[in-house]
Amino acid sequence: MSVLVFVEGLNGEIKKSSLEAASYGSQVAQQLGTTATAVAIGEVHEEALARLGEQGISKVLYDADSRLNQFVADAYVKVIAKAAQQENAKVLVFSNSNIGAAVGAKLAVRLNGALATNVTSLPKTDGGQFVVTRGVFSGKAFADVNLAGDVKIIAVKKNAFEITQAAGNTAMVEKLSAELSDADFAAAPKETVMQDTEGGVLLQEAEIVVSGGRGLKGPENWHLVEDLAKALGAATACSKPVSDLDWRPHHEHVGQTGITVSPNLYIAIGISGAIQHLAGVNSSKVIVVINKDPEAPFFKAADYGIVGDAFEVVPKLIEAARALDK
């Protein structure tokens, strides 16, 4: 039973979330006494693919068809299915990203596989079972799921696993061709799946996110969020009420009905912390909340909290961040 890991690229490099998935996949391969192979699609530097050996990947199958630079679900599924067939892979691993979730679901149907998303544990294989733990109810609870199908498909929750580093190890990179036709791209989206924020940092992949809510009182004060984000090299985001009021574009809305983020640091300014918003940020490693209301629900989920007026606190943070950069 071999393990196949789908890795996503961004600007020629492997996304952090995919490095986590590769680390997870190689650990699963060790459990099963086999090797882990990665499949990469689109525009990714071959040097970056070879470095996947540091995460325990022995081989990378790479389809460099330029039409795959933009995400098209049917075409991606065909490439990954070809790689799974070629490697006789019975365990497929993805990051629980927008792309990973979409492709994983389609592959489960195509390969008649068992799918688990938002996975937070390595599998337990005692007694012939294949049990993984996954987050449910927006991360408020966990469920153990036995993947009983012949093909097991796992979408790994972001920030749930550390990236392994075996310096000097390299993976062998081989060309892969799924012989795609124009029909495979018939459902190509008119827009890309992910968009940069105005600061130029991709929100879903940002290490730091600065987010604002109605506590900023109006779009004319959004420069506080943008200036702090610029000082920290962060992406900007907002709560749903802010996007509903047209203060900010919808693609910056973080929450249950918007974008899900998993940064190392999430700074919430003037956001009360409704459960719908928390559902989109609870995978963050560290959450900092700035709010003048000491009873704001967000403080219960925060690692650090500042009770104070954002118009007094944030300018001081911006000044301190800029001083560190000098």
Query: Per the annotation, does 80 bind a ligand?
Result: no
Handedness of CA 208, 213, 216, 219 (dihedral sign): positive
73 a known binding residue?
A: no
Q: How far does CA 48 lie from the centroid of its chain?
A: 18
Buried residues in 201-217 as b, exposed as e (16+ CB within 10 A): bebbbbebbbbbbbbbe
Binding site annotation covers 276? Answer: yes
Q: What is the DSSP letter of 266?
A: E
Q: Is 16 exposed, middle or buried (0-12, 13-18, 19+ CB in 10 A)?
A: buried
Short-list 13, 5, 70, 6, CA closest to 205: 13
Does the annotation flag 233 for ligand binding?
A: no
- Does the annotation place 138 within a ligand binding site? no
**273 known ligand binder:** yes
In 3D, which of 88, 60, 79 has the Cα closest to residue 2?
A: 88
Instruction: Consult the annotation and say whether 275 binds a ligand.
Output: yes
Q: Give the C-alpha distances (Å, rounded to integers) separating 173 from 16, 26, 63, 81, 318.
A: 19, 16, 10, 18, 44
| 42 assigned ligand-binding residue | no
DSSP symbol at 142:
E
- Strands in 235-238's sheet, in edge-to-edge order, are 235-238, 208-212, 265-269, 286-291, 304-307
Residue 194 sits at the vertex; the CA angle it makes with 243 and 224, to the nearest 5 degrees, is 45
Query: 280 near 255, Cβ under 8 Å?
Result: yes
Q: What is the Cα–Cα distance from 119 to 123, expressed in whole angstroms?
A: 9
Annotated binding site for FAD: 214, 270-277, 291
Annotated binding site: 214, 270-277, 291
